[in-house]
Amino acid sequence: MNDAWGGSRGRTPRILLIESHGPCAPVDAGLRRDATAQARAGHPVLMYLVEDGCLLARPGTDEELDRFEAAGGRLAVDRFSLVQRGIEHLPLRPRATVSDMDELAGWITGPDVQAVWH
Amino acid sequence: MARSIPPTDVLITLMGSPHESERVTSALRLVQALLEQGRAVQVWACGYATLLTQNPLGEDKPRNLANWNGVYPSTAALVKDMLETFPGRLYWYGCRFCSDDRGAADHLPQVVMRPPSGYGANVAAAGRTLQVGVL
C-alpha cells in the first residue's frame, strides 16, 4: 500500500481522504465524488474508511467507490471499526486492505501528503 | 505578550459534539498513535469538544447499568493520562470562547485556553493540520 501510494512522491501531492460517514449517513457522497475526480486527474489518492465509513468496504455498497477504485484510488479500512461492528470476518472489496490507526498516523505525517477528515 | 506555541508535527482541530458519534474515540486513537511514533501533537478543542477536559468529569464515567462493575475512564482522565505519558510532545488547547459559551470553566491544569483569534498561531506552529468534525 505505502509503496504504490508513494510512487509519485515529490512530483504531486498525495491525497489522503478519511471517510467516517457510512452509506446511510444523511449526507451525499461528495467526498467520494471528489476522491474519484482526483484519482481520474492522476493524483495518488488513498481513502481510509473509519467508523461507519468501514461499511463502505463491503462489496456493492457504493457505486461511487466502485468508480473511485476503477480510477486507481486505493482503499484502506480501519480494523477497529470493523471489529466494533462485528463484520471483520465478512468479505470486503477485493482491493481494500485492512489497516490500523498507526498506519494512518504514518500516512498523515508522510511527505507531500494532504489529508482531509470527513 | 503573545503566547509562544511550541512547534508540533500535527495539529488536530477537534470540533463538534463529543458523544454524537465515535469521533472523539477516533481522534484520541489517532493522537495516541502519532505520539507512539514519536511525533509531537497539539489538539485544539472547539465547540462542544471543549467539554472533554473538564475537571468535574472526574476519573471515571458514571456506572454502566449493563456492566455494573465495569470502570470506564472519563475523557478528562484519558487526556490527562496522555499528557502525563507524553510530556513535551502533547499539547491540549481549548477555545476560550466556545468553552465560556458552554459554561465549561474548570479544565485540567495542563489545558491551555486560547482566544479564537489565536488559532492562526497554532496552525502556524504545526507542520500539518487536520480538522476533525464540524461545529
Predicted pLDDT of residue A2: 44
Q: Which residue has the cell 510532545?
A: B89
Tell me how long chain B is: 135
Which letter does DSSP use for residue A59 in this model? T
pTM of the predicted model as reported, rounded to 2 decimal places: 0.91
Pick from B23, B24, B30, B46 the residue to mutate for testing the A interface (most A CBs within 10 Å): B30
Pick from A50, A79, A107, A116 the residue to mutate for testing the B interface (most B CBs within 10 Å): A50
Bridge partners of B130?
B12
Amino acid identity of residue A72, one-letter, is: G
Task: Collect the ranges in chain B with pLDDT lower than 70.
Answer: 1, 135
Spatial contact of B42 and B92, defined as CB atoms under 8 Å apart? yes
User: Cα(A86)–Cα(B134) distance, rounded to whole angstroms?
Assistant: 28
Evaluate if residue A7 carries a pLDDT over 60.
no
Amino acid identity of residue A10, one-letter, is: G
Q: What nine digits make up the cell of A60?
A: 456493492
Spatial contact of B93 and B42, defined as CB atoms under 8 Å apart? yes
Predicted pLDDT of residue B29: 97
Predicted pLDDT of residue B135: 67
Chain A residues 14-53 with a CB less than 8 Å from chain B: 20, 50-52
User: Cα(B132)–Cα(B27) distance, rounded to whole angstroms?
Assistant: 7
Predicted pLDDT of residue A3: 46
Q: How far apart are the first and last CA of chain B?
A: 29
> B10-61+71-132, which class in CATH?
alpha beta
Predicted pLDDT of residue A10: 54
CB contact B132 to A (< 8 Å):
yes
Domain boundaries, chain B: 10-61+71-132
Predicted pLDDT of residue A6: 57
Q: How many helices (H) and strands (E) does chain A have?
A: 5, 5
Q: What percent of chain A has pLDDT over 70?
A: 87
Predicted pLDDT of residue B16: 78
Predicted pLDDT of residue B1: 59
